[in-house]
């Protein structure tokens, strides 16, 4: 197996100074890939493909200063892909935004991006990937903020609203390994890399003979590199992110919902603006996908009721069934996976009903868990 020399992310992303942490571009992001030969579980050559972001980070020019919309985002390839998806949808929906320079992308480095050596729970938990972006929004440095909804705390900062969710991607988790086709195929004692307690608890509940490396952090490219270097035998990543990066060829298998319930709001993109900015709110309303917004609201009501944090293994998924009703499934687990509590709800696919379902499901599991459940 060849060794990856390095992930050659462009200088514009990797050599950013620590201060200031805001960078602007009115250009586009392009993803280019290269392959790495590996030995696969099926005795045929398999490749793990990585991408690097080539981003033109420009000086603040006079043209950029008059941008009609400044989009705030993290600087990872996936975050940039989501920001550019937002930009492209805005341009397609509003002719005045299709003019060159009308939309500017502002890259903001967050606490979660800066500190990679510690588990998320140990450095603050909630809001690690949104705090600085929210501050830039409130301060008027950007006009809208693009977030992965599963990173957004259940509360929003004052003076901000989140009126828009783009159409949701596939919510399932992908299994990626160089030596196995699925979790069940891994030998006893194999180490799985994941920074998610949700994934860890569900893995250990079904496969207690496996081990989990908890601080397996970094962007998609970093995690694939670590996997290739043999740090772990396998990892799980959100299929939605791999699809948005056009990297699904790396997937060994996709885990069914019944085997791995997704994180609350997994696969959903949320776009926030200031509460007093009606112009931006109207722009975002034109992009909103209501089915996704309601599903995310249901799941977040469940999470809020449980007062979930990065130290709490929680999963939740709301969807519309063939009859147009909402089906919700929720789960809480002990961190070691020895206990998993699940529940489900069904009701009208309407905001008030779905919020009620999420809260009721959360109260049920909170009651079942009892004191000390999450301390295991």
Q: Which residues are known to be catalytic?
A: 151
Query: Would you state the structure tokens that stand for residue 32, as one six-digit string?
Result: 């280019």
Helix, strand, or coil (residue 361): helix
Residue 243, phi then psi, degrees to nearest 5: -65, -45
Distance CA 191, CA 235 (A): 9
The b-or-e profile of 224-262 (16+ CB within 10 A means b, else e) is bbbbbeeebbbbbbbbbbbbbbebeebbbebbeeebbbb
Number of Cβ within 10 Å of residue 188's Cβ equals 9
Q: What is the DSSP string of 74-116?
A: -SSHHHHHHHHHHHHHHHHH-GGGSSTTSEEEEEE--HHHH--
Angle among Cα 26, 243, 3 to the nearest 5 degrees reads 95
Q: Residue 20, preceding bond cis, omega within 30 degrees?
A: yes
Closest-CA residue to 97 (of 59, 55, 133, 68): 68
Query: Residue 318: beta bridge partners?
Result: 328
List of residues 6+ apart from 187 with CB closer than 8 A:
none
Residue 189 makes CB contacts below 8 A (sequence gap 6+) with 209, 210, 211
Q: Check the CA dihedral 295-299-300-302 and report its sign.
A: positive
Pairing of strands 50-55, 29-34: antiparallel
* Residue 207 DSSP SS3: coil
Helix (H) or strand (E) holding 318: strand 314-320
């Amino acid at each position: 197996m060849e060794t990856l020399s390095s992930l050659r992310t462009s200088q514009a992303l990797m050599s950013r100074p620590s201060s200031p942490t805001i960078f602007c571009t009115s250009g586009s992001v392009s993803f280019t890939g290269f392959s790495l030969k590996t030995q696969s579980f099926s005795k045929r050559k398999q490749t793990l493909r990585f991408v690097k972001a080539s981003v033109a980070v420009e000086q603040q020019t006079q043209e950029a200063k008059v941008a009609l919309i400044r989009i705030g985002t993290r600087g990872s390839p996936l975050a940039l892909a989501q920001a550019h998806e937002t930009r492209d949808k805005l341009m397609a929906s509003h002719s005045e935004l299709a003019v060159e320079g009308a939309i500017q992308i502002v890259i903001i480095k967050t606490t979660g991006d800066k500190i990679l050596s510690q588990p998320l729970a140990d450095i603050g938990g909630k809001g690690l990937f949104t705090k600085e972006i929210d501050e830039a929004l409130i301060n008027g440095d950007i006009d809208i903020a693009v977030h992965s909804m599963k990173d957004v705390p259940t509360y929003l900062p004052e003076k901000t609203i989140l009126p828009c969710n783009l159409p949701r991607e596939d919510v399932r988790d992908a299994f990626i390994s160089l030596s196995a086709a699925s979790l069940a195929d891994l030998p006893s004692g194999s180490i799985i890399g994941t920074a998610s307690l949700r994934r860890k608890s569900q893995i250990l509940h079904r496969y207690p003979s496996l081990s989990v490396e908890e601080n397996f952090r970094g962007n998609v490219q970093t995690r694939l590199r670590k996997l290739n270097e043999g740090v772990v035998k396998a990892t799980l990543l959100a299929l939605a992110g791999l699809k948005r990066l056009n990297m699904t060829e790396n997937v060994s298998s996709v885990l069914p919902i019944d085997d791995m319930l997704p994180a609350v709001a997994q696969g959903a993109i949320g776009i926030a603006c200031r509460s007093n900015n009606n112009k931006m709110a109207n722009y975002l309303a034109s992009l909103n996908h209501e089915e996704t917004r309601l599903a995310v609201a249901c799941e977040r009501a469940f999470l809020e009721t449980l007062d979930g944090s990065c130290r709490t293994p929680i999963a939740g998924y709301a969807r519309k069934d063939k009859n147009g009703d909402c089906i919700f499934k929720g789960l809480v687990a002990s961190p070691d996976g020895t206990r998993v509590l699940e529940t489900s709800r069904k009701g009208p696919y309407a905001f008030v009903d779905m919020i009620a379902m999420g809260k009721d499901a959360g109260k049920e599991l909170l009651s079942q868990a009892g004191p000390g459940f999450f301390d295991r």
